[in-house]
A and B are shown apart, each in its own frame.
Chain A
C-alpha cells in the first residue's frame, strides 16, 4: 500500500483521474458499446469545454482578473458561426467536402475574429480600469455579461437559432455496435489540435516563456523590462478567441442554440476551472475532461443526478485540494 502513492504520482498523479473515472464507469455501465459511445461523447465535450475555459483560466493566472463575462464570448462565437453557416447555406449543404470545409473554416474564422475583437474591446473598456480590485471586477464583468446577453437577444432574437452542420460532419460511424457521431470525433480532433497549439505556444516559444513567467511572478517580469500589459491584452484576446471557437463548436454540436447558451455554459466553465485549478492549461484540460465524462456517465446511469453530480464533484475536489487539481505554480 505504501508504494502505491509514489507509483500513482509517477504515472501521472491527478492526471489519472479521468482514467479512473472511465474504468469505474465501465464497471458500472457493463455494456462496452454504450460505454464507448459515452466516453467518446465525454471526451469531445471535454475538449469543447476546454476551449471555452482555457482563456478564463489563463487570464486569471496571468493578471489575477476573473472575467465573469467570459461566457459572453462563447455565445458570440456560437451565434456568429451560426450566422456565417446560414449565409453559406449552399456550401454547407453541397456534396463536395471542399466547399463544406470552406464554409466551416469561414464560420470558425469569423468566430475567431469576432472573439478577438470583442476581447480587445472588453479588455480596454471593461476590465482595464478595475485591475486589482476584485470586488468591482466581479461586479463590472457581471454587468458586461448582462449587456452582452441583451445585445445577443436584440440581434438574434429570443427564439432558438438553427445551426446548419456541414454535410461531411453529419452521420455516425458504427464501431463494434456503438455509434460514434462524426461531429464528436471532429470536435475532439479540433480540441486536441488547439491544445497542442497552446502547449507549443506556452512551452516552446519566447512569448510562452514570458506568459508562464508572468503567471508565476508578474512583478519580476515587469522589473526585467517586459511590457506585461501588452502581453496581457494578447492573452486576453487569445482567450476570447478560444472561447468563441468553443462556442462555435458547441453550436454545431447542439444544432439549436438560444441566447441563454452563455449563461448555461458559464456555470459549467466555472466548475471546470475550479476543479482544474486556475491559471494552468493542463489543469483546465483535466478539469474539462473530468467534468464532461462525469456528466455523460451520470447522465446515462442516473439522469436525475446529472446536474448535481458536477456540483458534488466540485465540492469533493475542493475538500481534497482547495486550489484545484493542478493549479499553476504561484
Chain B
C-alpha cells in the first residue's frame, strides 16, 4: 500500500513539474514557438483530462470530443468576428458554444447511452463527422475550410502594453516584454489550470466514485440504486462543457479557428493517443500524455524530416520516414501501446510492472 502511495506521488510530482514549467514558460523559453507549444500543452491537458472522465473513469468511448471542442472554438470565433473584439462578444460566444454543447450532449446521451457502449461510439462518430461537414459547408458563418481569422479582446492583443516603464515603453521583466501576448498566455494558463483543478475535484468527489463503479460493473451499480443512464449523461455533459470551454480558450489564444485546429479527425486521434499514453483513468496521466504528444508533434516531425533526408539514398525508407507519414507511426505506436501498456505511463508507474 505504501509503495503504491509513493508511486502515485511520483506521478503527481511529474505532473506538477509540468504545470510548474508551464507556469514559467514565457520566462524560461523566449522563443515564440516554444510559448506556442506551452499554450497548446495547457489546452490539451484540459481536453485530454475531460476525455479521460469519459473513457477512463466511466468507460464510455466517444468520438465526438473534438465536436464539443469545436463548438466552443467556433462560438468564440463567430462572436468575435461578427460582433467585434471585446469581452462581451467573447462571453456571448463562449456561453453559446457551451450551451450548444450541453444540448447536443444531452440529446446524444439520452438517445444512445442506454444502449451498448459500441453503439455510442458509432453514434458519436457519425455526429462528429456531420459537425465537421457542416462546419466546412456553412461557409458564410464558419469560413468553410479556410476557417476564420479575428481579433482577440484588447487586453490579449500583442500590441497592448501591460506594464510600462518611465518612458512609456513596454516594461521588461527578466527580458520578457510585458505585453498582451503574456496576458494571453496567462489567460490560457490560468483558465486551463482552473479547469484541471475542477476535474480533479470531480474525480475525487462521490460522483467520481459512482462513475468508477459504473465502469467496473454496470449492473451492480444499477442494482445498488444509482441511475446509470443519468450518471452517464451527466458525465458526458460535464466532459462536453469542459471541452467546449477549452475550445473557447484555444480559439482566443490562436485568433484563428478552422476545421483543422478544432474539429478534424486528426485531433480526435491525438486526444485518444494522449489518453492512452498518459494512462486511462488517471487525471495526472493526462498531463503526461498531453505533454509528450504535443512535444513529439512539434519536435519529432522535424526529426523525421532530418531522418528522411539522411536516408535519401536507401529506397522506401525516406518515403516511410517523411513527416507526412507521421500518422502511420502514431497509429502503430498506438496499437502497440493498447496491447502492451493498456494502463499508459501513469498507470504503469502507479501499479508497477506486475499484472
Contact = CB atoms under 8 A, between A and B. Distances in A.
Candidate in B117, B137, B335 with the most chain A CB atoms within 10 angstroms: B335
Contact of A143 (B59, B319, B338): B338
A140 B325 contact: no
Nearest to A150: B328
B123 A274 contact: yes
A139 B319 CA distance: 27
Interface in A117-165: 126, 129-130, 134-136, 138-140, 142-147, 149-151, 153-154
A308 interface: yes
Contacts of A311: 126-127, 130
B121 A138 contact: yes
A138 B61 contact: yes
Contacts of A304: 137
Contacts of B141: none
A86 interface: no
A322 B115 contact: yes
Contacts of A273: 122
Interface in A302-322: 304, 307-308, 311, 314-315, 318-319, 322
Interface residues of A, number: 40
Contacts of B123: 274, 314, 318
A264 to B, nearest CB: 8
B339 interface: yes
B272 A139 contact: yes
A66 B335 contact: no
12 contacts: A66-B121, A134-B116, A135-B117, A138-B61, A138-B121, A144-B331, A146-B334, A147-B332, A267-B129, A274-B126, A307-B130, A311-B127
A38 B211 CA distance: 48
A151 B327 CA distance: 10
B126 A270 contact: yes
Contacts of B134: 307-308
A307 B133 contact: yes
B338 A134 contact: no
Nearest to B273: A143
A134 B118 CA distance: 7
Contacts of B117: 134-135
Given A135-B55, A150-B331, A273-B122, 14 more contacts: A66-B121, A139-B272, A140-B335, A143-B338, A150-B328, A274-B123, A307-B130, A307-B133, A307-B134, A311-B127, A314-B126, A318-B112, A319-B111, A322-B115
A319 B338 CA distance: 34
B338 A318 contact: no
Measured as residues with beta carbon below 8 angstroms from the partner, the interface class of chain B is 35 or more
B269 interface: yes
B254 interface: no
Contacts of B320: 154
A323 B335 contact: no
A308 B279 CA distance: 35
Given A307-B130, A308-B130, A314-B126, A140 B339 contact: yes
A129 B320 CA distance: 27
Interface in B250-284: 265, 269, 272, 276
B328 A154 contact: yes
A143 B331 contact: yes
A56 to B, nearest CB: 10
Contacts of A154: 319-320, 325, 328
B122 A146 contact: no
B114 interface: yes
Given A135-B59, A154-B328, A146 B269 contact: yes
Contacts of B115: 318, 322-323
B162 interface: no
B293 to A, nearest CB: 14
